[in-house]
Amino acid sequence: MTVRSIGRWCVVALAATLLSSLLHPGALAQSGAQSGAQSGAPASFAAVVDALNDQPSQRVTEVKRSWKPVFDAYLDMTAPPFRIGAPPSGGAVDAHFEIDTVHPKMKQWATISEWAKANGAIAEMLHKVRDSVGFAMPYGKSNVDEKYHAKRLFVDVGVGGNLRRVEYPYLAAIDSIATFAIVEMYRRLEAGEPKQAFTVAIDAARLLRQLCDRVMLAEKSHFFELLSDSLAAQRDAMWVYRDRIPNDVFRDIAIKEYPFLAPGRARLEMPEGERIVAEALLREVFDSRGQAEPDAFALVFGELQSKDKPLTQFGAARRWNRIAAVHGSLDASLQRLVNIYDDWWRRWRMRAYDQMFDLPTELSRTNPIRYGAVIYSIADIQALFDARKRLVAEVGGVAMAAGLCGYRNDFKSDPDDHEKTYATYVRKSSDFDPWDKGYGRLLYRFLGTQRKAVDTPAGRVWVEGGVLYARGKDHEDGDFGDHTADGSFGDMILWPPMRALEREQGLRE
């Protein structure tokens, strides 16, 4: 196989063998011996797209899919008055807003709230799709109706004839819808309609939960963060309007709504898309004998290694040309890919904290020369494990926050023990700390009228009353002296919400 032929062909394997192996990484080991003789046979991008669309979260009947109603409503949605999301790095600083900056006292609130009010059809759509089985938009631009192309509502696989380029322009539309829901939540709260406010916010969260089941790592990472930010914004709103939200609303959302979002081990699959593309990419750079093709290695992996430093591409290409001479065979490389994903699968399905997580991953133990092509064909999903823990904490934390508000409304004070909220105000199962080594509960301290300082990325904040928090990535109880929104440093304070306190105490606009 020559370098020129690589531009015309992408995947190498019989279509039936490829598709049958994609439902679980372990299936590759069984098919490896059979596919070895066919390793040089070309196949089309269509095989990869079909395999992505054959994943469990994609096999949803048409009437139970939400993607078309969502996109149809988005086509009629008016453009936001300002940019949603921060401006690009190095770009001009213009007016913008996003989920974690929206609140009724912001400078642009009047304009933004009018935008939300004018798009009531989006709220209606969110309520209609909340009970859908899955988003299940098909992969491949050609598999999506042309009417969506102008608004870039699709996933494009193999952009520019390059299998390694997968683009997700539809993410911007979901960002707009999710941000709309938070603006509409605040608008309804300002109008004295708390039930309707949390209905639209939770309906949007239900849609985002469906999107968390997407196949590709980039999608999962994006929607894990977006759902976490959405739930954090809902905690902020509970704090600001806690005296104006009746208890029946708090009980309903804490006991009936938020627990549905819980990303249980059996309900949130690990991303398989990267493995599918990685297998196709590996087959692309081996010859008909299953041996590394030096020119193909130089072209493909030289570009991958130097994508952030283009001037190093020539040196990187020479390095990969030499690596091809000592690289493992196609069959050995596919088996290594199986081993890496099987290891991740085991870890993904374990409880939030297990001793196995202290052991080196199969990826970390992979020889970077012997299996360099495997390492550069996949993305390490460790960050997704961390994002899932934050999401678990956010889902439980927002339910517990609603329960604490309900207790406070009845007794005019925070409880001295958060267990007093169980059953009547919140489900006990929501009280779970994903960073606790003993699979235990969230931590709670009752300060009463005493004040305690908390250092946040925005500065020092003072808290009092009841404080609910998770241990954070270090698995230790830091007595909430330090807080980060994702638990990456110090503890993760869930109640009272830090962003709301930062605004109240002048640390945030």
- Give the three-class secondary structure for 8: coil
Q: What percent of the chain has pLDDT over 70?
A: 88
- Answer whether residue 465 is part of any domain: no
How far apart are the C-alpha atoms of 168 and 145, rounded to whole Å? 16
Tell me which residue of 56, 53, 70 sits closest to 268, measured CA to CA. Answer: 56
Produce one character per residue of 389-418: b if its CB has 16 or more CB atoms within 10 Å, e if not: bbbbbbbbbbbbbbbbbbbbeeeeebbeeb
**Is 141 within the bounds of a domain?**
yes
End-to-end Cα spacing for the chain: 59
pLDDT digits (tens, 9 = 90+) for 282-300: 998 999 999 999 999 999 8
Structure pTM? Answer: 0.89
The residue to which tokens 């904290």 are assigned: 353
Q: How far is CA 477 from the centre of its chain?
A: 26
Is 147 part of a structural domain of the chain? Answer: yes
Reported as a pLDDT band with limits 50, 70 and 90, residue 90 is: low
Residue percentage of the chain with pLDDT more than 90: 76
Provide the pLDDT for residue 44: 55
In a domain, 143, yes or no: yes
Q: 230 in a domain, yes or no? A: yes
- The token pair that represents 285 in the structure block: 């750079």
Q: Residues 354-379: what's their mean pLDDT?
A: 90
pLDDT band at 31 (very low <50, low <70, confident <90, very high): very low
Q: What's residue 149's pLDDT?
A: 97
- DSSP-H helix ranges across 349-456: 372-377, 382-411
Is 424 within the bounds of a domain?
no
What is the average per-residue pLDDT within 406-422?
Answer: 97
Q: Which positions ≥6 away from 340 have C-beta within 8 Å? A: 361, 362, 363, 366, 374, 378
Instruction: Find the mean pLDDT for residues 154-180.
Output: 92
345 lies in some domain: no
* Residue (of 480, 496, 504, 479) closest to 405 by Cα position: 496
C-alpha closest to that of 142 among 51, 50, 74, 12: 50
Over residues 65-88, the mean pLDDT reads 93
Report the pLDDT value the prediction gives residue 37, as an integer from 0 to 100.
29
Residue 344, pLDDT score: 93
**Any domain includes 166:** yes
Task: Write out the residue range of the structural domain in which residue 113 sits.
Answer: 66-245
The whole-angstrom separation of Cα 507 and Cα 160 is 46
Average pLDDT along the chain: 88
What gap in Å lies between CA 256 and CA 356, rounded to an integer? 34
Q: What is the tally of structural domains in the chain?
A: 1
User: 96-127: per-residue pLDDT in tens?
Assistant: 899 999 999 999 999 999 999 999 999 999 99
